[in-house]
Structure 1
Amino acid sequence: MHKISEPSILYFGTPVILIGSLNENNTYNLAPISSVFWLGWRCVIGISAESQTTKNIIRNKECVINLPSAAQSENINNLVFTTGRNPVPEGKRKRGYYFEPSKFEKAGLTPVPGDIVSSPMVSECPVQLEAIVSNIHPLAEEDPEMKGRILIIELRIVRIHLEESILMEGDENRVDPDKWRPLIMSFQKFYGFGKEINYSKLSNIPEALYKTADIEKSRKEKTE
């Protein structure tokens, strides 16, 4: 039987991502979030308007979306409560955040320069998506208490780096879901994937039918 409920958060389960961005002084910033989804070669993130990552993305119009596997959960924990903003924004200070200028060292991860963008990739992450900004939208503009606090940022992927160990055998352009084990955030706790639980009829549709013009755009940008 269903019951009427009022959870404080609605994090029913999404992948954790590490956003690599470039600070104003050309140092690297790294931040974990889990408000993200993809359509084709587009990525949409929800992020605090006051974070250093947001400032960097707005200024540079780019970032790298790094997807850790379940094996990197402790690296993510090392970044909890850290921020690249100094002074620390009041909202984050109340939650226990502190300024950390060396995010990669704190996390125990290795930065790698992007091929197309200037933002850093994370060497240890099996998936690295170089991205540029397409659109930025405010969230909850109609609510005086929430207005200006959260932004929705649409990113277009321009280059994808995939660890060979997660690729489909015989096809370098497909990820094998039996090999890829993303780190999942569900109600503030870490989870990983298990084995496939059931056959999905959607898998009858060839992946190529989902291809968009963004792939061709990315090829042109690689040669410019």
Structure 2
Amino acid sequence: MHVAPGLKVLYFGTPVVLVSSLNEDGTANLAPFSSAWWLGQYGMLGIGNSAKTAENLRRSGECVLNLPSAAQVDAVDRLALTTGRREVSPTRAAQGYRYQPDKFAVAGLTEQAAELVAPPRVAECPVQLECRVTAAHPFGPGGFATGFEVEVLRAHVAEELVIPGTAYVDPVGWDPLIMKFCEFFGGGEPVHPSRLAAGWQMPHRLAPAE
């Protein structure tokens, strides 16, 4: 039997992405999100218009999509509830968001120069996708978000994840960090308590798998 509970969240499970972009002063911004999908050499990113990342993508038209593994969940969670905007809205402040100008330092991650775009890569991430924005589409009621179409200009992958002699990633060796209903999962199991879930007052509280 099915029920219709009126779901408030539809994050059934997507990869976590750390998107790096450039602020207007040339410094790097780094933000976690999980509304992303790819087809061929193109991707679609869903980002709320209040985010600093959305502002940066509109202005510069470039970004790097860094995919962390499940083992890097600590670094990703340290970025939760941070924003690159100096002005934090009352709603976000109530959820626990705070302004943080140096996201790389907060996460304990390292900037690595990209080859084809200006924003830096995250050195520790096993997958790094240098991208150019090709189109932007208003999304949702009142256009509260934007769907950014991006072209992947260059993909960097940790050598140990590439099947020898091919241009393919080993799906067994690659264990992406997944966000499922605001909780972190790897290999199908919960891997770390989520500050985001707590800030958004999700009804579940998951402990890491033993």
Query: Structure 2-normalised TM-score?
Result: 0.87
SS in structure 2 at match of 1:168: coil
Q: Distance in 2 between matches of 1:91 and 1:36?
A: 24
Q: Distance in 1 between matches of 2:176 and 2:34?
A: 12
Partner of 1:201: none
2:124 corresponds to 1:124: yes
Given candidates 150, 156, 161, the residue that maps to 1:166 is: 161
Q: Give CA deviations for 1:106-148 in whole Å, capped at 9, x if unaligned.
A: 00100111100001100010000000001100012xxxxx313
Partner of 2:169: 175
Partner of 1:109: 109
Deviant stretches of 4+, over 6 Å: none
Q: How high is the sequence identity, in percent, across the aligned residues?
A: 45
Aligned-residue offset at 1:169: 2.2
Partner of 1:155: 150
Q: Distance in 2 between matches of 1:20 and 1:96?
A: 22
Given candidates 152, 177, 188, the residue that maps to 2:182 is: 188
Q: Distance in 1 between matches of 2:138 and 2:54?
A: 12
Partner of 2:13: 13
Runs of 5+ consecutive residues of structure 2 not aligned to the other structure: 189-210
Q: Distance in 1 between matches of 2:147 and 2:92?
A: 19
Runs of 5+ consecutive residues of structure 1 not aligned to the other structure: 141-145, 195-224
SS in structure 1 at match of 2:73: helix
Partner of 2:65: 65
2:71 corresponds to 1:77: no
Q: Distance in 2 between matches of 1:60 and 1:90?
A: 28
CA contact (8 A) 1:50 1:89 kept: no
- What code does the residue aligned with 2:136 have? I
Q: Distance in 1 between matches of 2:45 and 2:33?
A: 9
Aligned-residue offset at 1:149: 1.5
Q: Give CA deviations for 1:159-212 in whole Å, capped at 9, x if unaligned.
A: 1100011111222x1101011110000011111126xxxxxxxxxxxxxxxxxx
Larger Rg: 1
